[in-house]
Amino acid sequence: MTMCLTLRVVYKQPLRETQGLMRSIAKLIRVEIAVPDFSTLPRRGKGLVLPPVRWPAARRYPVHLVVDSTGLKVFGEGEWLETKHKIKVKRKRLRKLHIGLDLVSGEIICSELITDDVGDPCAVPDPLD
């Protein structure tokens, strides 16, 4: 129950989507477990106190930050139009994901998702802040 409600808060999902996510996870890891119904989650979760989120302690050492980016292709109606009607879509939907990684601990410090028309030098100052 705690994991279902925590994932709901983290991913900002409605109750039905949370139920589907938990069923998919159980199926992927091949575990036979009863997933609470979407109407059961709010009733059983009323008195449940979730553990506090623990943020990393303040660092006493300088962070060696490594920033890298990768391109992500967003699938949508354009792919369907190309396949179904054999036409070229004017615009492909691409995004760039910039990730800032602490070189010592391997922890992701910051991330930013931008459109493909913004250059890398323009996107780096925001995660550094």
* Amino acid residing at 3: M
| pLDDT at res. 129 | 59
**57 confidence band (pLDDT: 50, 70, 90):** low
Average pLDDT over residues 1-25: 85
* Interacting residues of 68 by C-beta distance below 8 A, sequence separation 6+: 98, 99, 101
Place of tokens 């990684």: 101
Query: What distance, in Å, lies between the first and last C-alpha atoms of the chain?
Result: 37
Helix (H, G, I), strand (E, B) or coil at 101: strand
**Rounded average pLDDT over 70-95:** 70
Q: Pairing mode, if any, of strands 94-102 and 65-73?
A: antiparallel
User: What is the per-residue pLDDT for 91?
Assistant: 61
- Residue 76 sits in the same domain as residue 41: no
125 has pLDDT over 70 = no
Mean pLDDT of the chain: 77
What is the count of structural domains for the chain?
A: 2
Residue 48 corresponds to which tokens in the numbers above? Answer: 């449940």
- Based on the domain organization, do 36 and 81 belong to the same domain? no
Name which of 65, 59, 61 is nearest 110 in CA terms.
65
Q: What is the pLDDT of residue 11?
A: 79
Q: Are residues 79 and 116 in the same domain?
A: yes
Q: 39 and 70 in one domain?
A: no
